[in-house]
Amino acid sequence: MPHVEIKCYPGRTEEQKKKCADKIAEDIAEVLGCDISSVSVAIKEIPAEEWKEKVWEVDITPNEKYLYVKPGYTCE
């Protein structure tokens, strides 16, 4: 059912990533009315120098119409 993929700069601990994933899974299950066992959350670390190429141009710009929360920055 719901799958969330988080892309962020490296530097968080495994504990921070686990806590983030758990909270997101709990919120999704509650808000969307599904069982938490149906939710999956992935966290991928992308180095800053690769962000524009691997995230901005691949995930953000082409999918702008699907973004419910848009970034407050640009990669120009």
Whether 2 is catalytic is: yes
Q: Strand ranges (DSSP E) for the chain?
A: 3-8, 40-45
- How many angstroms separate the CA atoms of 24 and 45, rounded? 17
Select which of 2, 10, 47, 62 is catalytic. 2
Q: State both tokens at 2.
A: 């719901």
Active site residues: 2
